[in-house]
Amino acid sequence: MEAIPKDRAGSVQIQVAQEGARVLVRVRDDGCGMDEKTLARLFEPFFSTKPLESGTGLSLCVALALLRSIGGDLRVDGKRGVGTTVTAVLEAASQPRPASRAST
């Protein structure tokens, strides 16, 4: 939502799909997008396009490390002025887990 300019309505779409043994969770926005220079540095620790007091630049770096630690990945595609798509790639569960029941 932060990538959508304040002076216009925007949209954020979430899509989940299974491709073979992988589950893809895509979050797509029609915000300001990113140029190639920014996309190339996205996962660098402490890199941020936000003002200095607005963030640490660790979110994507940590998210990528966490996903990779469980066999997943994080992909980002975007174009300046068009928007951005972030895809979390996860291994599909081999069998559905039974629903947990709340204790009474």
Instruction: Identify the pLDDT of residue 102.
Output: 65
Question: Which has the closest alpha carbon to 15: 86, 97, 91, 84?
Answer: 86
Who wins on pLDDT, 57 or 78?
78
Question: Which has the closest alpha carbon to 56: 64, 66, 46, 65?
Answer: 46
Q: pTM above 0.95?
A: no
Answer yes or no: CATH 3.30.565.10 is held by domain 23-87.
yes
The one-letter amino acid code at 2 reads E
Domain boundaries, the chain: 23-87
Looking at the chain, the whole-number percentage of residues with pLDDT higher than 90 is 57
Q: How far apart are CA 58 and CA 86, in angstroms?
A: 16
Q: What is the mean pLDDT of the chain?
A: 87
Q: Report helix, strand or coil for 90.
A: strand
Q: What is the pLDDT of residues 7-40, one digit of tens each?
A: 777 888 999 999 999 999 999 998 888 999 999 9
